[in-house]
Structure 1
Amino acid sequence: MAINDAGRCVSADIAAGLPPAAALFHSLADETRLRIVARLARGEARVVDLTGELGLAQSTVSKHLACLRDCGLVDYRAEGRQSFYSLTRPELMDLLASAEQLLSATGHAVALCPMPGLAAQPRPS
């Protein structure tokens, strides 16, 4: 459940030995995938719907949907020549809601956590 160099979501055992929880959070660390998940939380959508609503290219949306499908978080149903995508795990929204509560409780301090290899950012006074 992490992204490889080809932009595909791969299982945790393939993804450089990441533990499953780390791979899950790595997969959700992308803003575009979070935006897609948030949109799908409101109901199913086609790729064309997502591209219009999110202002993204079809190839970008398709790539991220493939990742989320490979991770088992999103699936689709075919209706004629159209595919309707939806969340497979409603628990995902509970996880994201908990993350929002945590960020609210910490004053969004998590966003200030320096990333490895980057210079530490000063904390506001």
Structure 2
Amino acid sequence: MLAEKLQTALLKLDRLIEYTKEDIELVKASKHDEISNRVGTKERILLEFESAKTVLNSQLMEMVESGGDLESVLDENEQELFDAFKTKLLELKKLNRDLSAIVVVVSEFYRSLFSNIVTFDTHGYNQTKPHPAAMLRVSA
């Protein structure tokens, strides 16, 4: 029973990893529309994973409360699946960190590009307002 829950969680985790890898490649290729189109699907998979993880966590807590430490209540197959689950979680964490670093760089690029194109006046402590004609005039 626990092995089935672990396998379900691993399948959802594999799909999240796959989507995150694809997102990284899409950002690198500037295919932002494709990323936007996939957000709903990725959110659905994430919710399914969270649900599977909650069920898994609940079952693990019951087993630990009735039988001691985690290593003693898992059989060999369950332990292997649990280790794979932890490894996959770490992989997803790293991929999400990589994706967020790329997104920050792209965001900063567009922000600086916009600020170079549109002229701003500074008012007070870094409060800025665009010139009224700034959207019509481009500095080349």
TM-score in terms of structure 2 length? 0.27
TM-score in terms of structure 1 length? 0.29
Larger fraction in helix? 2
The structure number with the bigger radius of gyration is 2
